[in-house]
Amino acid sequence: MDLPSPTRRGVLRGTAALALAGAVSTVAAACGDADEGPDELEAPLAAARADAALATVAGRAFPDLAARVAPVAQTRGAHADALAAEIRRARPDRADAVAAPAPDPAPPASSAAATTALRTSLGSARDTGSELAVRTARYRSGLVASVAAACGGLVEVLA
């Protein structure tokens, strides 16, 4: 029994249908889980707020450290603002979660303890930001990578 050979028009219709089905399933998969749970930038946001608060408290508690930690407080505050703005833009449902500021931490025991705590936290922010920049959406990776790079620079400022 001879099977009819496919026509060119039939092959083109089949290819178009497969491409459309693939595009629809990709869009459906991308939209499925996006609004469930916390945004991936909420942890870096919390870290930025905590670093800014710690640097501010350390600068007040230890005047000899104020000039070194002021750029940390200012930069990490700007990071928090940028990350919060991105979360609010991408996930309006999480706006309430990102609205609360970090509580003021207790002052560290010494200026050396404050410096060590900030360097450790900034190093962690640099490392986790570098990892997140590779796996996050392209339009967010620039923001995350620049925050990570700035944290690396701030670690050196405190050295």
What's this model's pTM, rounded to 2 decimal places? 0.77
Integer Cα distance of 66 and 60 in angstroms: 7
Looking at residue 34, its pLDDT comes to: 54
Looking at residue 7, its pLDDT comes to: 73
pLDDT band at 6 (very low <50, low <70, confident <90, very high): low
Integer Cα distance of 99 and 40 in angstroms: 16
Residue 149, burial from CB neighbour count under 10 angstroms (0-12, 13-18, 19+): middle
Looking at residue 94, its pLDDT comes to: 92
Integer Cα distance of 110 and 118 in angstroms: 12
Question: What count of other Cβ atoms lies within 10 Å of the Cβ of residue 110?
Answer: 13
Looking at residue 102, its pLDDT comes to: 76
pLDDT band at 97 (very low <50, low <70, confident <90, very high): confident
**Across 58-69, average pLDDT:** 96
Looking at residue 21, its pLDDT comes to: 53
Average pLDDT, the chain: 86
Looking at residue 29, its pLDDT comes to: 44
**Across 56-68, average pLDDT:** 96
Looking at residue 67, its pLDDT comes to: 96
pLDDT, tens only, 22-45: 554 444 444 544 567 899 999 999
Nearest to 114 by CA among 67, 57, 47, 74: 57
Residue with tokens 């405190």: 158
pLDDT, tens only, 105-139: 999 999 999 999 999 999 999 999 999 999 999 98
Would you call 63 helix, strand, or coil by DSSP? Answer: helix
Looking at residue 27, its pLDDT comes to: 47
**Across 48-56, average pLDDT:** 97
